[in-house]
Amino acid sequence: MLRNRAGIILLTALAPSVWGTTYYVTTQFLPPNRPLLAAVLRALPAGLLLVAATRRLPKGSWWWRSLVLGALNIGAFFALLFVAAYRLPGGVAATIGALQPLLVAALSSGLLGERLSTRTVLTGLAGVAGVSLLVLRADAELDALGLLAAVGSAVVMATGVVLSKRWPSPAPLASTGWQLVAGGLLLVPLALLVEGPPPAELTARNLLGYGYLTLVGAAFAYALWFRGIRALAPTQVTFLGLLSPLVATLVGWLALGQSLSPVQLLGALVILAALVLAQVRPRQKRTRQQERLAAGV
């Protein structure tokens, strides 16, 4: 059982690790100033591919649940992240995004009946501190709208994770496709309004980048992510999200020749310590609410 659980954690960790390569792929392979187009082409084709592969459509309440989860996990999250990325330095946006484990822990306490422990709070704060040491710069300029968007992106993603646990899907891989399609469709009008129609011509390099984001960054990564949410506690899964800024920094160092300071290395160690500590869960007695949820009440 322990070995199987460790395998699930490692597989789930691949998702945020893949997402950590998004900045590199976007800047090196895609047309400039088209983040919403990238979000649409990342989500919608991947969702359609998974729906076609599984040959399953939502039934009953899963029509509206897919729309809600797709909006939270994909559509609204990408849109708010786009605003934050344009109005804030990357380090500020990443540091605010590191609040997700704390938000998920608080929401899990209310919606899933999980106990909000001091250990979880301290580990979450350590994760935020580690990310800030890794990516935050002292001369970073703040913008009110950008800050609201960054906080909003963390809130909608945290809510999506908890609701994904609250509503276990009857068909995990198919529901991943449903959410990607729903989120992608919600992003289409926004992308057209903000960025206009897609470029008339795309290079082979552009197509390679979009193909990577679709197949690896969305279809593969989100399938592992939602599988992890189904099998693990939501707080465990979201702590793994701290791998994204860590991998992004590592890729920048290896592929782009960016330097790493001793402070950044300290931040990386703090992040890894928080990740490991978050995966070690002490035995707990289930609360009454958890018993009711397990019984389907």
All residues at 6 or more sequence positions from 245 whose CB lies less than 8 Å from its CB, including other chains = 20, 94, 97, 98, 131, 134, 135, 271
- pLDDT value for 297: 47
pLDDT digits (tens, 9 = 90+) for 188-219: 999 999 999 999 889 999 999 999 999 999 99
DSSP symbol at 296: T
Q: How confident is the model at residue 162 (pLDDT cuts 50, 70, 90)?
A: very high
- pLDDT value for 4: 86
Do residues 214 and 50 make contact, with C-beta atoms less than 8 angstroms apart?
no
- pLDDT value for 291: 54
- pLDDT value for 145: 87
Residue 140 has pLDDT above 80, yes or no: no
Do residues 198 and 29 make contact, with C-beta atoms less than 8 angstroms apart?
no
Residue 221 has pLDDT above 90, yes or no: yes
Q: How many domains does the chain have?
A: 1
- pLDDT value for 90: 67
Hey, what are 87's tokens?
A: 């109005």
Do residues 272 and 264 make contact, with C-beta atoms less than 8 angstroms apart?
no
Q: How far apart are CA 266 and CA 163, in angstroms?
A: 34
Structural domain boundaries, residue 94: 2-294
pLDDT digits (tens, 9 = 90+) for 68-126: 999 999 999 988 988 887 777 767 778 888 999 999 999 999 889 888 899 999 999 99
Report the percentage of the chain scoring pLDDT > 70.
92
- pLDDT value for 285: 52
pLDDT digits (tens, 9 = 90+) for 6-56: 889 999 999 999 998 988 898 899 998 888 999 999 999 999 999 999 999
Write out the DSSP string of 120-180: HHHHHHHHHHHHHHHH--TT----HHHHHHHHHHHHHHHHHHHHHHHS--SSHHHHHHHHH
- pLDDT value for 294: 52
Backbone angles phi, psi at 169, to 5 degrees: -80, 145
Do residues 158 and 103 make contact, with C-beta atoms less than 8 angstroms apart?
yes
